[in-house]
Each structure stands twice: as C-alpha cells, then as structure tokens.
Amino acid sequence: MADRQYDIVVFGATGFTGALTAQYLASQADPGTRLALAGRNLTKLEALRSGLGPDQADLPLLKADVNDRNSLDELAQSTRVVISTVGPYIRYGEGLVAACAAAGTDYVDLTGEPEFVDLMWLRYHEQAQATGARLVHSCGFDSIPYDLGALFTVSQLPENLPVRLEGFVRIGGTFSGGTYHSAVGIMAHLREAAKLAGQRREREARPSGRRVRGAAGTPHHDQEAGGWVVPFPTIDPQTVLRSARALDRYGPDFTYSHYLVVKRLPVLAGLAAGAGVVAALAQLPPTRSLLLKLKDPGDGPSPEQREKSWFRVRFRARADGAELLTQVSGGDPGYGETSKMLGQSALCLVHDPLPETSGQVTPAVAMGQALIDRLVREGIRFEVLER
C-alpha cells in the first residue's frame, strides 16, 4: 500500500467525534503523515478545515457518501487506513467496511455495537484475510481501555498460569446524541444481535488446548473497585475475550468479568431501572422514535463539560495465589480521549512495526504494546497499583 495517495482518511469528519479526531490528527500526527478528510458535504468539510489553522489550508478533502458505494471504493483505494466515525454503524457502517475489505485497506472505528461487529465478521473477515486488510473495530473508549488494559495486566504476570481477571469501570462525564442513538439501536436489536452472535460462535475457531471464558459475576460492594459493582454487558468484555482467545499470553485458563462501579446503592438501582425502561421502550417503533427525539445525533457535550470528564478502569488479576491490581485512566472518555485513541490507532497501523495480522482483529491483537506505548506518551495512564 506504499503507493496509496494518503496514509489516513477520516470519514465522517464533520460529525461531532469525527471533527475532534480530525483536529487531533491535524496537530498530533507523526511527521510526514499524509492526512485527508472525507464526508458527504464539501462545504462543511471546508469549514472544518478552515478551523484547523493556516498550516492545514491545503489538507485534501474527499467527497464520499455511505449511500454511494463507488465513492466508498474510491476512498478505500486511495489510502492506507480509513477512520470511520459515521454511526450508528449498523445503519451506516457496512459499505465502508466492505470497501476496505475488498481493497486491502486497514480500517478502524469506535463502534460499541455488538450486532455490527459480528455481522462484519460474518460477511467480511475471510475476504479481509485474503486481501490483507486489518479491520479493527472499537478503537475508542469502546474498547481500548479494557482490551489494552487487560493485555497490560496479563503482561505483568508470569506466563502459562491460569488467570482470573476482573475489570471495574468508573466514568465521570456525559455523552453525545450519536452515542445515545447507537445505544437505543443496540437495545432495539437485542434479538438480532443474539442471533448473529450465535452464528459467529458456530463458525469462529476456538483456541486449542486453552480455555477462555467470561463470567458474568453478581452485584456486590467491592472496596478495591471503589463502590458498588454490577455486571456491565457492553461490547468491551467481548473484545477482551476475543483477544484472549487469539493470544497465548493470556494463559491456559483465562476468565474475565466486567463491572460498572457506582458509589451509592440507590444510584445503582436507578441506573438498572432506567436501563430496563429504555430497553423496553426501544422494542416498539413508536416508542423508539420518541426516545430518539430526545437527543439530536449532532449534539455533544461542551468543551467545559469535556474538561471535567474522566474515566478509571481498575483490573484485579488473580494467578497462582498471587493478586495484582492495575489501572488505566484518563480524561474525557467519550470524546477527548476517544479521538486520541482512534487517531493513535490509525497512526500505529501506518507507522509502527506490528505483528502480521489480517481480517477482523481486536486492538490488542493488531497493535498491542505498540499502541499502549503511544497512548502513554499521549497522557493516558497504564499503571500497576499493587502487587
């Protein structure tokens, strides 16, 4: 792909997270990186470019639309890596994945939609393996802190030991309209997602001579985690387990549990009740439409709100009687740090010597320690708290 015109193209650059990612790369990309911005509205792209400063006045702008497959093919064939920020991905994402798989182009996104990830694996994993494309989903707050945090934690342990790992997530911040619409979409398609997950399990190879499994756990108070914890069934534990199945470093018997942490029990009860109500309302088209009207897809938190946001993910590992406590932490999880994670994932694929992989792979499998090193240099903390 050395003769491609660009190294990285940001697709959906005028959206909320897309613009943040474009701004981040315009100022923080490795020297010599050939960057371009893509979207369906050139006028909006020009406005975004003008806000990036005089140094970016000649930044290439590409017109591409999710409803125009030819434009997506041309986009994929022009670059080494595509960053997609156009969600909900189950509605808008497949065309670009298909184009990248066909063109042998590396692809990263920030999806948290299990249905989309499984569908893309079923339809394009084998083609991407054949062309050499690396399709790396969930390269934002879903699922970088958990996937790379688990890898970081396991790497601190002796090899070839059974590992029991627990992840505890605490978040301070708000979310954008796009994230909200994706969440409602996930809840509306739980049956479809379960069906696709079953189809993937039937086709996907499992590790030989090793065991990797998830354990849901139960709600309880955990002092080391910092409060009350409840099983958190997002895409993130799925990503961790897929990395563990692919990499022998996770040991002969690996178990992972994933929890959300809140300080007070009434808050936990309120979150559970609210999630149940939204999930129920999302099942029917009329009530789902009402839910989606509550927040516009283009809305997002203000710079002041993002400045106050933070995240902390603690990992507790038990192996052969020993216990290890680690932590991954940073600032605004959904936007500031997500644009950083997404941008550095693309830069890592372009510039760093990495293991030979292809097809749909997780961040830990595709980039691993090289991406951890990049994120640490950018201020996201990976640390051992207690041995």
The 10s digit of each residue's pLDDT in 119-131 is: 999 999 999 999 9
Would 60 be classed as within a structural domain?
Answer: yes
Q: Are residues 89 and 18 in the same domain?
A: yes
Torsion sign over Cα 22, 24, 27, 33: negative
- Residue 87's identity, in one-letter code, is G
Would 226 be classed as within a structural domain?
Answer: yes
Distance CA 325, CA 37 (A): 41
Distance CA 30, CA 255 (A): 37
Distance CA 197, CA 218 (A): 23
Q: Are residues 294 and 158 in the same domain?
A: yes
Q: Are residues 180 and 221 in the same domain?
A: yes
Q: Are residues 259 and 359 in the same domain?
A: no
pLDDT of residue 172: 82
pLDDT of residue 203: 96
Distance CA 340, CA 204 (A): 31
Number of domain units in the chain: 2
Q: Are residues 29 and 117 in the same domain?
A: yes
Q: Are residues 128 and 185 in the same domain?
A: no
pLDDT of residue 263: 78
Q: What is the pLDDT of residues 258-280, one digit of tens each?
A: 999 987 666 666 666 566 666 66
Over residues 324-338, mean pLDDT: 91
pLDDT of residue 277: 61
Distance CA 332, CA 134 (A): 28
Under 8 Å between Cβ of 323 and 173:
no
Q: Are residues 237 and 323 in the same domain?
A: yes
Q: Are residues 180 and 275 in the same domain?
A: yes
Q: Are residues 296 and 351 in the same domain?
A: no
pLDDT of residue 92: 95
Domain carrying residue 62 = 6-140+337-372
Would 157 be classed as within a structural domain?
Answer: yes
Would 323 be classed as within a structural domain?
Answer: yes
Would 277 be classed as within a structural domain?
Answer: yes
Cis peptide before 88 (omega within 30 of 0): yes
Would 27 be classed as within a structural domain?
Answer: yes
Would 90 be classed as within a structural domain?
Answer: yes
Would 1 be classed as within a structural domain?
Answer: no
CATH of the domain at 117: 3.40.50.720
pLDDT band at 64 (very low <50, low <70, confident <90, very high): very high
Higher pLDDT, 235 or 275: 235
CATH of the domain at 176: 3.30.360
**Position of tokens 């002969």?**
252
Q: Are residues 243 and 320 in the same domain?
A: yes
pLDDT of residue 192: 85
Q: Are residues 174 and 31 in the same domain?
A: no
Q: Are residues 319 and 302 in the same domain?
A: yes
Distance CA 138, CA 242 (A): 12
pLDDT band at 254 (very low <50, low <70, confident <90, very high): very high
